[in-house]
Amino acid sequence: MRGSVDMNFLFTLGELQRLVRAYADKQAARHGITRAQWAVLAKVERTEGLKQTELAEQMEMQPITLTRLVDKLCNNGWIERRGDETDRRVNRLYLRKTARPLLGKLSGLRSEITTMALEGINPADAHRLLDQLDLIKENVRNAIQNPAGEPPRKEQRYG
Protein backbone atom coordinates (compact mmCIF):
# COMPACT_ATOMS: atom_id res chain seq x y z
CA MET A 1 0.00 0.00 0.00
CA ARG A 2 1.25 3.48 -0.86
CA GLY A 3 0.34 5.04 2.48
CA SER A 4 -2.70 6.97 3.53
CA VAL A 5 -4.32 9.62 1.38
CA ASP A 6 -3.99 11.98 4.35
CA MET A 7 -0.21 11.56 4.38
CA ASN A 8 0.29 11.78 0.61
CA PHE A 9 -2.41 13.89 -1.03
CA LEU A 10 -1.10 17.43 -0.43
CA PHE A 11 2.55 16.43 -0.90
CA THR A 12 1.78 14.68 -4.20
CA LEU A 13 -0.32 17.59 -5.45
CA GLY A 14 2.42 20.10 -4.62
CA GLU A 15 5.14 17.93 -6.15
CA LEU A 16 3.08 17.46 -9.31
CA GLN A 17 2.60 21.21 -9.64
CA ARG A 18 6.34 21.83 -9.17
CA LEU A 19 7.30 19.19 -11.75
CA VAL A 20 4.79 20.39 -14.36
CA ARG A 21 5.98 23.97 -13.90
CA ALA A 22 9.63 22.94 -14.29
CA TYR A 23 8.84 20.91 -17.41
CA ALA A 24 6.70 23.71 -18.90
CA ASP A 25 9.50 26.23 -18.20
CA LYS A 26 11.98 24.02 -20.04
CA GLN A 27 9.65 23.47 -22.99
CA ALA A 28 8.57 27.13 -23.26
CA ALA A 29 12.23 28.16 -23.43
CA ARG A 30 12.41 26.34 -26.79
CA HIS A 31 10.10 29.07 -28.11
CA GLY A 32 12.01 31.94 -26.48
CA ILE A 33 9.43 32.58 -23.80
CA THR A 34 9.07 31.85 -20.08
CA ARG A 35 6.13 30.01 -18.56
CA ALA A 36 5.11 33.22 -16.73
CA GLN A 37 5.14 35.20 -20.00
CA TRP A 38 3.16 32.40 -21.64
CA ALA A 39 0.54 32.60 -18.87
CA VAL A 40 0.17 36.36 -19.38
CA LEU A 41 -0.13 35.96 -23.16
CA ALA A 42 -2.77 33.25 -22.76
CA LYS A 43 -4.83 35.42 -20.36
CA VAL A 44 -4.64 38.43 -22.67
CA GLU A 45 -5.65 36.24 -25.61
CA ARG A 46 -8.75 35.07 -23.70
CA THR A 47 -9.68 38.56 -22.47
CA GLU A 48 -8.29 41.29 -24.69
CA GLY A 49 -8.72 44.79 -23.29
CA LEU A 50 -8.27 43.62 -19.72
CA LYS A 51 -6.92 46.24 -17.34
CA GLN A 52 -3.37 45.51 -16.24
CA THR A 53 -4.51 45.75 -12.58
CA GLU A 54 -7.31 43.22 -13.20
CA LEU A 55 -4.85 40.84 -14.82
CA ALA A 56 -2.48 41.07 -11.85
CA GLU A 57 -5.38 40.24 -9.53
CA GLN A 58 -6.59 37.32 -11.66
CA MET A 59 -3.08 35.89 -11.82
CA GLU A 60 -2.53 36.45 -8.09
CA MET A 61 0.59 38.40 -8.92
CA GLN A 62 2.07 41.59 -7.51
CA PRO A 63 1.42 44.50 -9.94
CA ILE A 64 5.16 45.27 -10.23
CA THR A 65 5.90 41.64 -11.18
CA LEU A 66 3.22 41.75 -13.87
CA THR A 67 4.50 45.12 -15.10
CA ARG A 68 7.93 43.58 -15.72
CA LEU A 69 6.39 40.65 -17.61
CA VAL A 70 4.22 42.99 -19.69
CA ASP A 71 7.24 45.22 -20.43
CA LYS A 72 9.11 42.20 -21.83
CA LEU A 73 6.09 41.06 -23.88
CA CYS A 74 5.68 44.60 -25.27
CA ASN A 75 9.38 44.81 -26.11
CA ASN A 76 9.07 41.51 -28.01
CA GLY A 77 6.11 42.92 -29.96
CA TRP A 78 3.59 40.36 -28.67
CA ILE A 79 1.23 42.59 -26.70
CA GLU A 80 0.54 46.30 -26.45
CA ARG A 81 -0.73 48.65 -23.79
CA ARG A 82 -3.48 51.05 -24.76
CA GLY A 83 -4.83 53.82 -22.60
CA ASP A 84 -8.37 53.67 -21.28
CA GLU A 85 -10.83 56.11 -22.87
CA THR A 86 -12.33 57.10 -19.52
CA ASP A 87 -9.35 56.87 -17.13
CA ARG A 88 -5.91 57.91 -18.29
CA ARG A 89 -4.28 56.10 -15.32
CA VAL A 90 -5.44 52.73 -16.70
CA ASN A 91 -3.60 50.53 -19.20
CA ARG A 92 -5.52 47.92 -21.15
CA LEU A 93 -3.71 44.98 -22.74
CA TYR A 94 -4.15 43.72 -26.29
CA LEU A 95 -2.45 41.06 -28.40
CA ARG A 96 -0.48 42.13 -31.42
CA LYS A 97 -0.71 40.17 -34.66
CA THR A 98 2.87 39.01 -34.19
CA ALA A 99 1.76 37.01 -31.12
CA ARG A 100 -0.64 34.79 -33.09
CA PRO A 101 1.96 32.40 -34.57
CA LEU A 102 3.65 32.06 -31.17
CA LEU A 103 0.31 31.35 -29.48
CA GLY A 104 -0.36 28.67 -32.10
CA LYS A 105 2.97 27.01 -31.25
CA LEU A 106 2.28 27.32 -27.52
CA SER A 107 -1.15 25.74 -27.96
CA GLY A 108 0.58 22.76 -29.58
CA LEU A 109 3.08 22.73 -26.72
CA ARG A 110 0.25 22.74 -24.15
CA SER A 111 -1.22 19.70 -25.91
CA GLU A 112 2.19 17.95 -25.91
CA ILE A 113 2.64 18.59 -22.18
CA THR A 114 -0.88 17.35 -21.43
CA THR A 115 -0.38 14.23 -23.54
CA MET A 116 2.94 13.50 -21.83
CA ALA A 117 1.46 14.00 -18.35
CA LEU A 118 -1.58 11.82 -19.04
CA GLU A 119 0.33 9.00 -20.75
CA GLY A 120 -1.03 5.62 -19.64
CA ILE A 121 -4.36 7.10 -18.50
CA ASN A 122 -7.34 6.36 -20.71
CA PRO A 123 -9.43 9.34 -21.87
CA ALA A 124 -12.46 8.44 -19.71
CA ASP A 125 -10.26 8.28 -16.60
CA ALA A 126 -8.58 11.57 -17.59
CA HIS A 127 -12.00 13.26 -17.81
CA ARG A 128 -12.99 11.76 -14.46
CA LEU A 129 -9.72 12.97 -12.93
CA LEU A 130 -10.34 16.50 -14.24
CA ASP A 131 -13.89 16.46 -12.81
CA GLN A 132 -12.52 15.30 -9.45
CA LEU A 133 -9.83 18.00 -9.45
CA ASP A 134 -12.52 20.60 -10.21
CA LEU A 135 -14.52 19.32 -7.24
CA ILE A 136 -11.44 19.48 -4.98
CA LYS A 137 -10.79 23.03 -6.20
CA GLU A 138 -14.40 23.98 -5.41
CA ASN A 139 -14.16 22.39 -1.95
CA VAL A 140 -11.05 24.43 -1.16
CA ARG A 141 -12.57 27.62 -2.61
CA ASN A 142 -15.64 27.12 -0.41
CA ALA A 143 -13.45 26.49 2.65
CA ILE A 144 -11.63 29.78 2.00
CA GLN A 145 -14.91 31.65 1.66
CA ASN A 146 -16.53 29.88 4.63
CA PRO A 147 -13.85 29.07 7.23
CA ALA A 148 -14.53 26.19 9.64
CA GLY A 149 -16.66 27.21 12.58
CA GLU A 150 -18.37 30.00 10.68
CA PRO A 151 -21.83 29.47 9.29
CA PRO A 152 -21.89 29.46 5.49
CA ARG A 153 -22.67 32.90 4.12
CA LYS A 154 -26.07 33.06 2.58
CA GLU A 155 -26.41 35.01 -0.62
CA GLN A 156 -28.49 38.07 0.11
CA ARG A 157 -31.45 38.36 -2.18
CA TYR A 158 -33.40 41.50 -2.81
CA GLY A 159 -36.89 42.05 -4.12
Burial class (CB in 10 A: 0-12, 13-18, 19+), 76: middle
Q: State mean pLDDT over 53-63.
A: 93
Global confidence as pTM: 0.76
pLDDT value of position 159: 46
For position 153, what pLDDT does the model report? Answer: 57
Evaluate if residue 46 carries a pLDDT over 50: yes
Q: What CA–CA distance (Å, rounded) separates 94 from 116?
A: 31
pLDDT band at 148 (very low <50, low <70, confident <90, very high): confident
In this predicted model, what pLDDT tens digit does every residue of 76-124 receive, in sequence order? 999 999 998 888 888 999 999 999 999 999 999 999 999 999 999 999 9
Over residues 9-30, the mean pLDDT reads 94
Structural domains in the chain, sorted by start: 2-143 (1.10.10.10)
- Measured CA to CA, the distance from residue 119 to residue 117 in angstroms comes to 6
